[in-house]
Structure 1
Amino acid sequence: MDPLAVTLEHHHFTYGWLNPAMGLAFAAAGSFLGLTASRYARAAATRGSRLRWILMASLAIGGIGIWMMHFIAMIGFTVTGADIAYDPALTALSFGLAVLAVGTGLSVSGGRRAGWPRLLLGGLLCGAGVVGMHYTGMAAVATGGRVVYDPVLVAASAAVAVVASTVALRFTAVVDRRGSMALAAAVMSVAVV
């Protein structure tokens, strides 16, 4: 431990429950839209149509459901005595990683007829991408200090991301009805948060 290190006081809920509630709403909306697009991807008659629907699902789940939720949470975070800024390039990269992670997971997992090995590989790749998105987004936050991570918590966050991604990919492969999609979207949004 650096003897000169100072722990800065930080606040996760600077604006009360507004940011977490908005983040949860975006996670649910993105998940529902992504599940809907995934359903259309499974029913697509052509490869091109399927890829377009997978892109839409990736943007919805990765961009709205995952990245937007994280960014909303981050703007609700303050550090006492420090201005917070965001590196635009790293912030954009974190968005791209979220969309790419979901797109890769959807493409690899292969939909309803794919077996468990492909689903597990898709979940691993998607989860790894989500971890990359999260820590790239955190690296984009400039507080004037240095952020230090507990390796055990990083490993735990990676495990949660892989498991949640695998479950979400399974939902994208099997959920068809609106009621089921709403329930699956609720589960996915809680997992994202």
Structure 2
Amino acid sequence: REDDLIYAQAGVAGAKLARFAATNHLCGAEFFVGIPGTLGGMLAMNAGCYGGETWQKVVRVQVLTRSGELLERAPQEYAIGYRHAALRRESEEFFVGAWLKFEPGDVEVARQQIKALMEKRSASQPLQLPNCGSVFRNPPGSHAAKLIESCGLKGKRIGGAEVSEKHANFIVNTGGATATDIENLIDEVRAAVLRQTGVELHTEVKIVGEYKS
């Protein structure tokens, strides 16, 4: 920590970042406790929840180029949007870390906020089963979970993959789910929502490797 800035490496978990900020009497990082991932991924997709987004806190980032050069970049060099962040010019780089700015505050207030957000997350999300967080982005003016639920898709299963009964925008592994099960379920949910509501859902998760669609 320096001058209300925290430098965090790409592998730091959101919950650890939130708690570190609170311990150091900094507020505004509490929402990170609700993001199931590490800072590198949060930067890559501008992850957010509970009214906060990663790049709202970024002062500068440290990246590694394909040639092995370490660089620092400012947020202005990126096109940043909802669940999206990309360099304005083409360059293959990888996030190594970031400097994030928070506001001085009361440590107990921050800790209580973290506790409240953790309880809210536990009450509304299927944390007891393996999952990858929100599957679809929220379309403008709506919520993916509400659309999926309105189409009667809660509990829909393919193999070991299931649309969570607790939160419709989560696909959980009930046991033995394969990548194909999950991909097929994503496709079926997307098709059903489009057919019944006219809204096309776009995935928030990134699918790595070959994908039949």
The TM-score, its normalising length taken from structure 2, stands at 0.23
- Higher share of residues assigned strand: 2
Q: Highest Rg: 1 or 2? A: 2
Q: Which has the higher contact order (CA 8 A, sep 6+)?
A: 1
- Higher share of residues assigned helix: 1
